[in-house]
Amino acid sequence: MMRMLLQHAKRHMIRTFGTLSSVNQTSQHRLKKALDRNPLVIPVLQQWRVIIKKLRDSDQSLQALQVSEWMDEKGLVIFFPEDYAARLHMVEVVLGLEQAEKFFENIPENMRDYTVYSALLSSYTKSDKHLGKAKATFEKMRELGFLMKPSPFNSMLSLQSQENMVEELLRDMEENNVAPDSLMVNKVLRIYAAEENVEAMETFMKMWSEEEGIKLERETMVVVAKAYAKAGLTKEAIEMYGGVSGSKREVYRLWNECKKNEKLENDGYKTVIGSLLKLDDVEGAEKVFGEWKPVGPKLDLSIPGFADFSVLCRRKRIESWGVDKFDWKEEKCDALKVWDGFYSQGHERCW
């Protein structure tokens, strides 16, 4: 394989950290020094893994593979499953899937653990052309009890032809007590949005988006908002856009459509005000609040419970909303209790 790697390097004239030979010489020199200082395998293994990881992280898979090959040929280290998995990935990137398959066949059976099969599955799921092999590998992982993490399921979802099998994969995960990670949550939501399956999208989002460690990507939030808008769920679309930086124009566009076509309720005003505040458009939020007053009560008693109200308080904006002109005597004393409760929680009085 080393000869094949050298031919590949020569053909593409790849250079990093100097010439290819200097990369190998530097790596070899560093590792030989480590062996001279300490003949134990573990410290040396840790050092060469660091070298390979740095090369891979800097998109130098060819050089990383050469270092791995050199270490193997010299018999300087003992390979563990994760080392085989890393090299399998590098072989696929540098030399292609066919060579990666050949490398996999030469991996000892007792070294083919979860990491190795995951690397193989990831290689197959890069193209729908290898759907059959991907499914076979996935089933083999099931047979071996390796479907215990989100990674294999994420790989299968990467195949466009698998998009109609989301429910089946989610059931598989549930049966194996595997919770989705951020990558899977974002993938599933984008698939549901593309299919315009808003009900499933919303159910899944409510179930998982607030879980610890889950973060919705900007692209996901945009496609979800578009799916809501297309389904006529304008309020939900506006709320979603509120969390997407640079989406103020979309919030106003949807709000203007909403004002033309729908009877405006308090919830609608709260939603658009909240989204504008998240987008740091306080002036716009003030304007919408000004439009709200003619169709709602002088003072909506639910405002103190509205999370974004505190933002406006901190910005000293409430006085301009006419709250100071509110005729407290004409309202029930419960109104004062609600507002006093709001201030008692530590919010600053603005007038």
pLDDT tens-digit profile of 233-252? 999 999 999 999 999 999 99
Q: How confident is the model at residue 307 (pLDDT cuts 50, 70, 90)?
A: very low
Across the chain, mean pLDDT equals: 77
- pLDDT over 90 percentage in the chain: 45
- Determine if the pTM surpasses 0.75: no
Asked whether residue 29 is domain-assigned, the answer is: yes
- Burial (CB count <10 Å: 0-12, 13-18, 19+), residue 84: buried
| Total count of domains within the chain | 1
Asked whether residue 60 is domain-assigned, the answer is: yes
Asked whether residue 91 is domain-assigned, the answer is: yes
Asked whether residue 254 is domain-assigned, the answer is: no
19 Cβ contact partners less than 8 Å away, ≥ 6 residues apart: none
Domain that holds residue 55: 1-103
Lowest mean pLDDT among 255-259, 272-276, 306-310: 306-310
For position 16, what pLDDT does the model report? 34
For position 293, what pLDDT does the model report? 57
d(CA 239, CA 217): 15
d(CA 295, CA 306): 18
Asked whether residue 92 is domain-assigned, the answer is: yes
Distances (CA, A) of 231 to 97, 166, 193, 224, 239: 42, 21, 10, 11, 15
For position 316, what pLDDT does the model report? 45
Asked whether residue 4 is domain-assigned, the answer is: yes
Q: How confident is the model at residue 348 (pLDDT cuts 50, 70, 90)?
A: very low
- Is the predicted pLDDT of residue 296 greater than 60, yes or no? no
Asked whether residue 153 is domain-assigned, the answer is: no
Asked whether residue 291 is domain-assigned, the answer is: no
- Mean pLDDT (whole number) for 103-121: 96
- Is the predicted pLDDT of residue 285 greater than 80, yes or no? yes
